[in-house]
A and B are shown apart, each in its own frame.
Chain A
Amino acid sequence: MADVTLGDADGKSLSVPLQRSNAVGLFRLTDRVFHTVTFVAALFVLILLGAIILSLIVGAWPSIAKFGVGFLVGERWSVNKEIFGALSPIYGTLMTSLIAMVIAVPIGLGIAIFLTELCPLELRRPIGIAIELLAGIPSIIYGIWGFFTLTPFFGQTLLTASLILAIMVLPFITAISRDVFATVPPVLKEAAYGIGCTTWEVAKNVVLPYTRVGVVGGVMLGLGRALGETMAVTFVIGNSHSIAASLLSPATTISATIANEFQESDGVYRSSLLELGLLLFVITFFVLAAARIMLMRLERKAGA
């Protein structure tokens, strides 16, 4: 407690009551300062959210004012004529994320069931960590890896992007499903095993129904990631502002459009890209909020 001095600056010792009141005064001051500083820091998190939304709205305003709702439903993206419609990036974002989830959710749940029910105890931790490492690899790495190893076979298409996204969100879904599976009271599973259920029947009839809300929450969290993923997609999707019927044709997503075009843009073009960013933030905000609410519901159930 070097910061509490029990004497004055000259080193002369003070009378005991004075020393005490000095020390208590100092304590009170640090208490108040510390409390205030932590409070302000905590408020800063809320301010940050407000600042993000506000500055994106301000930045996007020229585009919002010019195109209005047409921005959301227009399919035309013409830089020369300064007409910007976001329908094809929106379509690409939703479609790639959706396909990614269709691939990743069953696999992620499978891995989670493996880790909680089948895996030998001594392998559980290393395999869990290995899967989580997949989550730690930066998205630019997935991007260039996909660009050099997947596009030679699949081309730059919507499907290639979905595949990369699936690999990226797999660890999130696995990690959360594993954690929510672990909240199932052992006695429920033991009872089911006790009446002769197979492992699959326990997973299907006991574990999954019990953790349904949490699993959906985890899936939504993965979806939130997939929707906003930028670098991995940009390299493999082909960046074409069109809505093609085939999944094997080039497309674009909101984030890929921003990443690709921002540096060459100016004026309304640039503010359209900012509006795309705002749109992406709003979409992911709602998806992530829904995910959190579901996970909280499960927590309350587990706590009760």
Chain B
Amino acid sequence: MASYASRRAANRIMMGLCWAATLFGLAWLALILVTLFWNGLAGINLDLFTQDTPGPNTDGGGLRNAIVGSLIMTALGVGLGTPIGILAGTYMAEYGRYSRLTFYIRFVNDILLSAPSIVIGLFIYAALITEGVEHRIVGYSAIAGSLALAVIVIPVVVRTTEDMLLLVPNPLREAASALGLPRSHVVMKIAYKAARAGLITGVLLAVARAAGETAPLLFTVQSNQFFSLDLTKQMANLPVVINNFAGKGYANWQQLAWSGALIITLAVLTLSITARALSAQRTQK
């Protein structure tokens, strides 16, 4: 057995390293946020929200088309994915809680949850778009992008819905059933209500996830340098615009990329903090 002093020294060193690891992790977060604010804030002005993406090295211009496009596609993606996700989660928690099928679905869903998002983009491309082929269903379009985002959203919502419904105490369901409520009403009027905060958390997390995704949009919507509300056409969106503008070496494009990055980060972090606050409220009750 090592001596008391050496054990104490080992403890000091290892615990010091744990402290250091934590500071290291927090330092990165701080560093990223500081750089984002430092570079992004300079470009935040009214033009950013009222003008469309400019050409390289020109004066003025903003991100209006990209912001609007991102809002539309995120809303559509979450709007399409959420109902499917909630219904699937409902089946897993309320009907097939102990079934083999639910076990497999949960397994597959967990894998889809962490699957590379670029593959989801390729999937929508291969399934719907495929250039130069006669059976193509849609072209590069906001619709295709929204579908890709929906595929990203579904596993997030399935997971939180199932988890949250499993937390609803069974006596609530039993009491409702004892009053003669049919199963579907027990789920819709009792379980959903009891799990409401959790379900909203899931949707917020899904919005946060979808809003920042770039890779699935690269091959499904691409981008559009003009303002467009046509869902069947290419549409500008923040992540892809940031991607296209950041590396090209034009000062005005880089500035817009930083400002866009700041906007996305703030939006995403606000959403996830709200989601966490909501779920914290729930667990404290």
Interface residues of A, Cβ cutoff 8 Å to B:
1, 27-28, 30-31, 33-35, 37-46, 48-49, 51-52, 55-56, 58-59, 106-111, 113-115, 117-119, 127, 129-134, 136-145, 147-149, 167, 170-171, 174, 198-201, 203-204, 221, 224-225, 227-231, 235, 255, 258-259, 262-263, 266, 270, 273-274, 277, 280-281, 284-285, 288-289, 292
Contacts and interface: CB of A to CB of B under 8 A. Distances in A.
A255 B111 contact: no
Leading 6 A-B pairs by shortest Cβ distance = A228-B116, A138-B212, A110-B21, A59-B126, A41-B87, A198-B11
Contact of A52 (B123, B130, B214, B215): B123
A184 to B, nearest CB: 16
A109 B21 CA distance: 9
Given A41-B91, A230-B215, A262-B218, A137 B122 contact: no
Given A107-B24, A118-B19, A288-B111, A42 B105 contact: yes
A273 B218 CA distance: 14
Contacts of A119: 22
Given A228-B117, A262-B219, A38 B15 contact: no
A199 B189 CA distance: 49
B29 A134 contact: yes
Main SS of the interface on chain A? helix
Contact of A131 (B18, B26, B269): B26
Interface stretch (B46-54, B60-68, B194-202, B238-246): B238-246
B104 interface: yes
Interface string B130-158: 11100000000000000000010011001
25 contacts: A42-B96, A45-B108, A46-B105, A55-B126, A59-B126, A59-B130, A113-B18, A114-B19, A118-B18, A118-B19, A136-B272, A137-B32, A140-B264, A142-B32, A147-B247, A198-B10, A228-B118, A230-B116, A262-B218, A262-B219, A280-B118, A284-B119, A288-B110, A288-B111, A289-B107
Contact of A200 (B10, B108, B115, B257): B10
B232 interface: no
A281 B116 contact: yes
B111 A266 contact: no
Given A31-B182, A141-B36, A277 B118 contact: yes
A154 B122 CA distance: 31
B251 interface: no
A218 to B, nearest CB: 12
Given A110-B21, A111-B22, A235-B246, A292 B119 contact: no
B250 interface: no
B170 interface: no
A134 B25 contact: yes
Contacts of B32: 134, 137, 141-142, 145
Contact of A288 (B35, B115, B222): B115
Contacts of B108: 45-46, 49
Given A137-B265, A231-B214, A114 B18 contact: yes
A288 B268 CA distance: 25
Contact of A46 (B104, B183, B257): B104
Interface string B89-133: 011101110000110110111111011111110110111001110
Nearest to B120: A52
A114 B88 contact: no
A59 B158 CA distance: 28
Nearest to B182: A27
B213 A138 contact: yes
A200 B127 CA distance: 53
Which of A1, A111, A130 neighbours the largest number of chain B CB atoms within 10 Å of its CB?
A111
Nearest to B240: A140
A246 to B, nearest CB: 23
Given A45-B158, A137-B269, A198-B7, A114 B110 contact: no
A31 to B, nearest CB: 5
Which of B25, B84, B208, B212 neighbours the largest number of chain A CB atoms within 10 Å of its CB?
B25
Which of A52, A139, A149, A262 neighbours the largest number of chain B CB atoms within 10 Å of its CB?
A52
A296 to B, nearest CB: 8
A281 to B, nearest CB: 5
A59 B11 CA distance: 56
A56 B215 contact: no
Given A133-B29, A134-B29, A281-B119, A39 B95 contact: yes
A37 B25 contact: no
A292 B110 contact: yes
A285 B155 CA distance: 15
B185 interface: yes
Contacts of A277: 118-119, 122
Contacts of B213: 138
A148 B110 CA distance: 34
A45 B155 CA distance: 8
Contacts of A51: 123, 127
Contacts of A130: 25-26, 29
B276 interface: yes
B184 A228 contact: no
Contacts of A285: 111, 115
Nearest to B94: A38
A78 to B, nearest CB: 22
Nearest to A221: B114
B117 A38 contact: no
